[in-house]
Structure 1
Amino acid sequence: MEPRFNLMTNEIGAKIGKRFTNVSLAIQQSPLPGDVQELVMLRASQINGCGFCLDYHTKEAAAAGESAVRLHLVAAWRESIVFTEAERAALALAEEGTRLADAYHGVSDETWAQVRKHYDDDQVAALVYLVAMINAANRLGVIVRNQGGSYEPGMFAGLPS
Structure 2
Amino acid sequence: MELRFNLFENEIGGKFAKRFANAGLLVQQSPLPKTIQELVSLRASQINGCGFCIDMHVKEAAAAGETPVRLHLVAAWREATVFTEAEQAALAFAEEGTRLADAYNGVSDETWALVRKHFDDNQVAALVCLVALINAANRLAVILHQQGGSYEPGMFAAAVSSSPSTED
User: If the length of structure 1 is used for normalisation, what is the TM-score?
Assistant: 0.97
Match of 1:32 in 2: 32
Match of 1:5 in 2: 5
Q: 1:4 to 1:138 in 2, by over 3 A?
A: same
Moved over 6 A (4+): none
Q: How many residues align?
A: 161
Structure 2 unaligned segments of length 5 or more: list them.
none
Q: CA RMSD in A?
A: 1.0
Match of 1:144 in 2: 144
Match of 1:112 in 2: 112
Amino acid at match of 2:20: F
Structure 1 unaligned segments of length 5 or more: list them.
none
Q: Tell me by how many angstroms 1:156 deviates.
A: 3.4
Deviates more, 1:66-75 or 1:148-157: 148-157
Match of 1:130 in 2: 130
Q: Tell me by how many angstroms 1:155 deviates.
A: 2.1
Q: Distance in 2 between matches of 1:98 and 1:10?
A: 28
Match of 2:60 in 1: 60
User: If the length of structure 2 is used for normalisation, what is the TM-score?
Assistant: 0.93
Q: Tell me by how many angstroms 1:157 deviates.
A: 4.0
Deviations 1:107-145 (A, max 9, x none): 000000000000000000000000000000000000000
Match of 2:81 in 1: 81
Identity of aligned residues (%): 76
3-state DSSP class of the match of 1:156?
Answer: helix
3-state DSSP class of the match of 2:81?
Answer: coil
3-state DSSP class of the match of 1:97?
Answer: helix
Q: Distance in 2 between matches of 1:95 and 1:28?
A: 20
Q: Tell me by how many angstroms 1:86 deviates.
A: 0.1
